[in-house]
Amino acid sequence: MIDLKIIRENPELVKATCKKRGCDVDIDALAALDREHREALGKAEGLRAERNRLSKECQTNPDARVKVKDMKEELASLEERSAVLAKEIDEKLSWLPNLIDDAVPQGETDADNQEIRKVGKLPEFSFQPKDHQELGEILGIIDAARGAKVAQAGFYYWKGKGAQLCQALFYWTQMELIKRGFTLFMTPCVAKEHTLYGTGYLPFFADQTYALKNEDLALIGTSEQTLVGYHADEILEGEQLPLCYTAYTPCFRTESGSYGKASRGIFRVHQFHKVEQIIFCKPEDSVKYHEFCLENEEYLLQQLGLPYHVVNVCLGDMGAPGYRKFDIEAWFPGFNAYREVTSNTNLTDFQSGRLKIRYKDKDGGKGFVHTISATAVTDRVAIAILENYQQADGSVVIPEVLRPFTGFDKIEPAK
RNA sequence: GGAGGGAUGGUCGAGUGGUUUAAGGCAGCGGUCUUGAAAACCGCCGGGGCUACGGCUCCCGUGGGUUCAAAUCCCACUCCCUCCGCCA
C-alpha cells in the first residue's frame, strides 16, 4: 500500500509509477479527496471537542444540553462525510501498485527480463531428450488423466517413486532452510479475503483465486499469504528481526486467461506444491535479505545439479505489489529452454502497510517492516530433475543429495 | 451438533451512564542507593489521525442503536474457552 503521505509529499513520483505500471488511478483526484477528507475530519473533531466540553456542563447547566443537542445533526453529517471519503480513498489506494526500484528494467513480458548470470552446464544427450510429460507416462509417476477425472483438467497425481521424489525434494529443502535460520511452519491452506487483500493478491489477482462458497475464505495461492498474514496487526520487536519463515503447502490458482502458456505436462497447473521463504525485516535490510533468499535458491539448485540462469524481472512481468523481483529459470531439456522455477520479490512495505505489520526499536526507531517473498522449490523443480537427469531408456537418476530421502537412486520405466 | 461462560492496553485485572483524562499488579525502560547485584524507593511505560507542538480527537472483539454524555444500556454479528456428543 502506498502511504498517503507519499502522495501528499511527492505526487509526481506516484504518478510516474502509475504511468509505468499501467495503473489508471487519478492521483490528483486522490490527493483532492485526501484534502477534503482531512478537512471534514478536522471540522468533526473540533465540533466533537466542543461537544465534549459542553457535555461536562450538562449536569449543572440545563442550557448546555440544548446547545449540544443542536450540534448533533451537524456532527453526524460531518462524520458521515468523512467516512464516505475515507472509504473512497481506501478503494483507490488499494489499486495503487508499489513503487519501483531503479534497477528494474523496462519491458512488457518475460522476454524483456535481463539475464544476470548463467550457472551450471547444460546436459548433453546422445538421444532426443523427452519432456516430463512423456517421462511421467513412461515411468508411471505422473497421472494427469486421472487428475482430470477426479478433479478437473489442471490437477494431477504424482505416483509411486515420482511422489517419493517430490516428498524427498520438499523435505530436504525444508531441512536446508532450517539450517539457514528459517523457522518451519505448517499453515492453514485457506485464508480470508482480508489476508489476500493484505498480501496484495486482492484486488489485483482476484480472478486467480479459488473462493469457497458461502465462506469468507479462499484456497491459498501460496503460503506467502498465510505466513505474511501471520503477523497482521502486530508490532514486532526490532531486535528480533529478521524473522525468516518457511512452510510447505499446496498452492491453488485458477490460471484463468493463461491457456496455451507453456501448458504441456504439469508445468502450469491449478494446484502445485511449494516450499516458501518469507522474511520480515527492517526497511534498511530488505535489499540484503532479498539477496539472501536468492542465494538460498541458487544453493538449492546447485546442490541438485540443475543448470539455471537468474533474471532481473522487468516492469511488465512483475506484479503490482513488487518493488523488485528476481526469477530463476532452470534449464528444461524437454522444452529446450530456461523456464521459471523460483520467484523472489522484495515487496518493501506494500504488504506490511496493508496488514499493519510494524516494528519498534528500543532506541525509538519504528515503522512498517519490509517483507521478502521467495520460492525455495516447487513441483517444477521435480520436473526439471526428470528432464535433466533422464537416460536413453527413459529412466531417471536421482540427484545425490536427495538419495538419503528417496531411498533409491533411479526411477526405472514401468513395465 | 447440544449446553454454558467470556472478549478491557505487552500481560493479569478493576470498572454496570458523567471525580475514568481507562484504577491497580506484573513485566519492561531510566534513575537513586550499592564494590557489584538483589531488595527498596523515584520517574517513564498502548496504538492511530491531526497539530498553530500549547494540544485536540478516535480506539475497551466488530457493526448498528438509545443518550447532552456509552467500556458501562439495547440489538445483531464474529471470535475464544469449558463440558457433552461425533471424529482424522
Query: Percent of chain A beyond pLDDT 70?
Result: 98
Beta strands in A152-300 (DSSP E): 157-158, 183-185, 190-191, 218-219, 235-237, 243-252, 271-281
Out of A121-125, A129-133, A201-205, A365-369, least confident range? A365-369
Nucleotide with smallest C1' distance to residue A54 CA: B68
Task: With beta carbons less than 8 A apart as the criterion, state whether A356 and A263 touch.
Answer: no
Q: What is the pLDDT of residues A28-58, one digit of tens each?
A: 999 999 999 999 999 998 898 888 888 887 7
CATH-assigned architecture of domain A110-411: 2-Layer Sandwich (3.30)
Report, as an integer, the average pLDDT of A383-396. Answer: 97
Check residue A375 and give its pLDDT: 98
Q: Gap from A83 CA to B64 C1', in Å?
A: 15
DSSP string covering A94-149, please? HTPPPP--TTSPP-SSGGGPEEEEEESPPP--SS-PPPHHHHHHHHT-EEHHHHHH
CA–chain centroid gap for A22, Å, is 20
Check residue A1 and give its pLDDT: 84
Alpha helices (runs of H) in A58-157, residue ranges in sequence order: 62-94, 132-139, 144-150
**Is the CB of residue A35 inside 7 Å of nucleic acid strand B?**
no
Distance CA A377, CA A384 (A): 11
Q: Which A residues 345-374 have CB within 7 Å of strand B?
A: 358, 360, 362, 366
- Residue A170 pLDDT more than 80? yes
Q: Which helix (H) or strand (E) holds A315?
A: none
Backbone phi and psi for residue A378, each to the nearest 5 degrees, phi listed first: -140, 180
Residue of A284, A281, A291, A350 lying closest to A17 (CA atoms): A350
Reported pTM: 0.94
Residue extents of the structural domains in chain A? 4-94, 110-411
Confidence of residue A220 (pLDDT cuts 50, 70, 90): very high
- Identify the bridge partners of residue A118 per DSSP, sorted by sequence position: A309
Out of A48-62, A128-142, A330-344, least confident range? A48-62
- Identify the bridge partners of residue A230 per DSSP, sorted by sequence position: none
Nucleotide with smallest C1' distance to residue A69 CA: B68
Task: With beta carbons less than 8 A apart as the criterion, state whether A326 and A318 touch.
Answer: no
CA–chain centroid gap for A399, Å, is 29
Report, as an integer, the average pLDDT of A150-176. Answer: 96
- Residue A93 pLDDT more than 90? yes
- Residue A307 pLDDT more than 80? yes
Check residue A238 and give its pLDDT: 86
Report, as an integer, the average pLDDT of A223-238. Answer: 91
Check residue A60 and give its pLDDT: 72
Question: What ipTM, to 2 d.p.?
Answer: 0.86
- Active-site residue, from A134, A137, A223, A253: A253
The x, y and z cell numbers of residue A299, run together, are 544453493
Q: Between β-strands A410-411 and A396-397, what pairing exists: parallel, antiparallel or unpaired?
A: antiparallel
User: Is A38 a catalytic site residue?
Assistant: no
Distance CA A140, CA A128 (A): 20
Angstrom distances, CA of residue A244 to CA of A177, A194, A216, A376: 9, 23, 28, 13
The x, y and z cell numbers of residue A231, run together, are 503477523
User: Based on the number of CB atoms within 10 Å of its own CB, is A331 exposed (0-12), middle (13-18) or buried (19 or more)?
Assistant: buried
Q: Which nucleotides of B are covered by protein (CB under 7 A)?
A: 10, 18, 29, 47-50, 52, 56-58, 68-69
User: Based on the number of CB atoms within 10 Å of its own CB, is A300 exposed (0-12), middle (13-18) or buried (19 or more)?
Assistant: buried
User: Is A81 a catalytic site residue?
Assistant: no
Say how many residues make up chain A: 415
Residue A54 per-residue DSSP state? H
Q: Which fold has domain A4-94?
A: Helix Hairpins (1.10.287)
Out of A136-140, A178-182, A186-190, A364-368, least confident range? A364-368
Report, as an integer, the average pLDDT of A15-26. Answer: 94
Check residue A262 and give its pLDDT: 62
